Amino acid sequence: MRLYNSLTRKKEKFKPIKKGEAGIYACGPTVYDFLQIGNWRTYVLGDLLVRNLKYLGYETKYVMNITDVGHLVSDGDEGEDKLEKGAKREGETAWDVAEKYTKDFKQGMHKLGLLKPKLVRATDHIKEQIELVKKLEKKGFAYKTSDGVYFDTTEFEKQGYKYGELSTLDEIKEGARVEVNKKKKDKRDFALWKFSPKSEKRDMEWESPWGKGFPGWHIECSAMSMKYLGDQFDLHVGGEDLRSTHHPNEIAQSEGATGKKPFVKYWVHGAFLLVDGGRMGKSLGNAYTLQDLDNKGFSPFDLKYFYLMGHYRKQLNFTWEALEGAKTALERLRKRIINIDSRLRGNDGGSDGGAPHQAVQGAWESKFRERMEDDLDMPGALAVVWEMVKDKNLSDGEKLGLIEKWDEVLGLGLSKVEMKLEIPEDVVKLVEKRSRLREEGKWNGADSIREEIEKLGYVVEDKGKETVVVRK
Ligand code: AMP
Ligand code: ZN
């Protein structure tokens, strides 16, 4: 597989550190609010990457953190802690806020059918973070000020390391995104540990060798990724915003502590999701959640199909019309698959039964793989799916076989079982009732139930002995 590596700034062939294995770390959510569709685009990218690696036969180890402490509002070292801020907003403790939105995150992962990473919470790894800061201190990379312990970028460079290599922003060298803090030796230095301010009561704070307080935002990712994946590992994923300071800081902390370079071989960054051509944000009222989509009749899979229509390295523009387009396309695809499936089951003239077309099937498989292996070209892979289902040289069985296999990567719930699961309970009950009436020869009753089902937005089709239900 070839992947664009933000560190080397080119597409490279993926060669894991250990043959046949891939360790992946994804920066997870700060759990202070509901996740929005921009966040989800980034988590779907992590999922796609892991699915692709699995498909290609790699044994994967996928770890994701939950930031439940210490992420300051400005993304620098100043401002309020996002969790403590959420607690004030909701009149609860920071612990309750973290719990509530971690739950929302897990539910969202489930709704979107994402593979489960090993989820690790920052607050469960305070000890590891303190140990890491101690290591950095021993090597001369940390110094204490009146408000915290900071990473010393100047000393880091003096000892022969490069700081900010990954960053796209030249300004990182001048520390543009880092708030000016007069106590720091250099503008680029960043907090490893912050002391609890005397003026403010915090819900989350811990004792440390330097004083009571809480970890800086970046240290958790270094501590937890290395704990679970080793000092050096293969892949690190996150949104493009993290490339400017968070990830360069992770590199500095980890390489500084272990002396091993590179900390991570391949850095994969997903471009942002825009809404109506611009930035999305709470204050703009366009930071839509999965619930907002559900309220307008869109399923999480409609959103996922929409994501797949764009390449992960290009910004993608969300509009309700575009989502509608994705929904329609996904429904058309599902209908096709259901028809293929029912033809097969009903044996009513489906094109199965002839000699197998192994060569043709193999050619499709190569086409699909070629797209995935070219830096996760999912729009290209979707185009292959559509061409394949229309190919007259393939039998129905062969088509279904390919779809089921490819859906391991696409994760669109295209397997028959999953599609049936998406039909609401009340519709399923009506379909069963209708089948019973038909068996008893009560055709009028069966017809009126068909109308009821249609009113709920579904259509029943009788194919041979099978009854198939699809969304209208
Ligand atoms: P946060 O919870 O703010 O730390 O963000 C969690 C993840 O979502 C990070 O990897 C961000 O890069 C990503 N993210 C935030 N906004 C967007 C967006 N508009 N499009 C894509 N990813 C985003
Ligand atoms: Zn991180």
Q: Is the CB of 23 under 6 A from ligand 1?
A: no
Q: What is the C-alpha to C-alpha distance for residues 353 and 331, in angstroms, rounded to an integer?
A: 27
C-alpha distances in Å from residue 18, one per residue of 3, 24, 123, 234, 467? 17, 13, 30, 9, 49
Cβ atoms of 41 and 307 within 8 Å: the answer is: yes
Same domain flag for 163 and 225 = yes
DSSP string, 341-376: HHHHHHTSS-STTS---HHHHHHHHHHHHHHHHBT-
Ligand located closest to 46 CA = 1
Across 442-463, average pLDDT: 88
Name the residue at shortest CA distance from atom 7 of ligand 1: 39
In a domain, 257, yes or no: yes
Same domain, 6 and 123: yes
In sequence order, which residues have a C-beta less than 8 Å from that of residue 241 and are 6 or more positions away? 272
Q: What is the mean pLDDT of the chain?
A: 91
User: Quick one: 403 and 456 in the same domain?
Assistant: no
> Does the CB atom of residue 273 touch ligand 1 within 6 A?
yes
Instruction: Report which of 267, 230, 225 is spatially closest to residue 129, judged by C-alpha positions.
Output: 225
Same-domain status, 190 and 336: no
Cα(87)–Cα(92) distance, integer angstroms:
5
Separation CA 153–CA 132 (nearest Å): 16
Kindly report the number of other CB atoms within 10 A of residue 199's CB atom.
5
Does 184 sit in the ligand 1 pocket, CB within 6 Å? no
Question: Average of pLDDT values for 72-94?
Answer: 83
pLDDT of 175? 47
349 located within any domain: yes
Q: Which of 209, 241, 270 is the last residue of a domain?
A: 270
CATH of the domain at 107: 3.40.50.620
Looking at the structure, tell me whether residues 349 and 430 fall in a common domain: no
Closest protein CA for atom 5 of ligand 1: 29
CA of 42 to the centre of ligand 1 (A): 7
Considering only 150-154, 242-246, 351-355, which range has the smallest mean pLDDT? Answer: 351-355
Q: Are residues 136 and 250 in the same domain?
A: yes
Residue 218 lies in a domain: yes
For a substitution probing ligand 1, which of 42, 236, 273 has the most ligand atoms within 8 Å of its CB? 42
Tens digit of pLDDT for each residue in 302-332?
999 999 999 999 999 999 999 999 999 999 9
41 CB within 6 A, ligand 1 = yes
pLDDT at position 176 over 50: no
The pLDDT of residue 29 is 96
Beta carbon of 236 within 6 Å of any ligand 1 atom: no
Q: What is the pLDDT of residue 472?
A: 72
Assess if residue 313 is contained within a domain. no
Q: Is 44 helix (H, G, I), strand (E, B) or coil?
A: helix
**Domain coverage including residue 163:** 2-270
pLDDT of 201 strictly over 50: yes
Top-confidence residue, 60 or 182:
60
Residue 313 beta carbon below 6 angstroms from any ligand 1 atom: no
Q: Of 397, 414, 431, which one is at a domain's C-terminal end?
A: 414
Task: Assess whether the C-beta atom of 83 lies below 6 angstroms from ligand 1.
Answer: no
Are 403 and 437 part of one and the same domain? no
Residue 46 in contact with ligand 1 by CB distance below 6 A: no
Give distance in angstroms: CA of 468 to centre of ligand 1.
40
Q: Which tens digit of pLDDT belongs to each residue from 375-432?
A: 999 999 999 999 999 999 999 999 999 999 999 999 998 876 556 556 777 888 898 8
User: What pLDDT is recorded for position 418?
Assistant: 59
Does 282 map to a domain?
no
Q: Do 62 and 16 belong together in one domain?
A: yes
User: Which ligand 1 atom is the nearest neighbour of the CA of 279?
Assistant: 19
Which of 395, 414, 433 is the last residue in one of the domains? Answer: 414
pLDDT tens digit sequence for 330-371: 999 998 998 888 787 765 544 555 667 788 889 999 999 999
243 and 102 together in one domain: yes
Number of domains in the chain: 3
340: domain CATH number is 1.20.120.1910
pLDDT higher than 90, residue 177 = no
Name, in order, each residue with C-beta under 8 angstroms of 14's C-beta and a sequence gap of 6 or more.
Answer: 1, 2, 3, 22, 234, 266
Residues 103 and 222 occupy one common structural domain: yes
Residue ID of nearest Cα to ligand 1 atom 9: 239
Ligand found nearest the CA of 40: 1
Residue 295 located in a structural domain? no
Is 86 touching ligand 1 by the criterion CB < 6 Å?
A: no
> Prior bond to 117 cis, omega within 30?
no
How many C-beta atoms surround the C-beta of residue 452 within 10 A? Answer: 15
For strands 466-471 and 458-463, give the pairing: antiparallel
Please give the distance, rounded to the nearest whole angstrom, from the Cα atom of residue 53 to the centre of ligand 2: 21
* Same-domain check for residues 199 and 334: no
Cα-to-centroid distance, 48 and ligand 2 (Å):
18
The neighbouring-strand residues paired with 435 are: none
Residues 44 and 90 in one domain: yes
Could you tell me if the CB of 272 is within 6 A of ligand 1? yes
Q: Where are the alpha helices (DSSP H) in 9-118?
A: 37-55, 82-90, 94-111
Q: Which ligand sits nearest to residue 222's alpha carbon? A: 2
The pLDDT of residue 349: 47
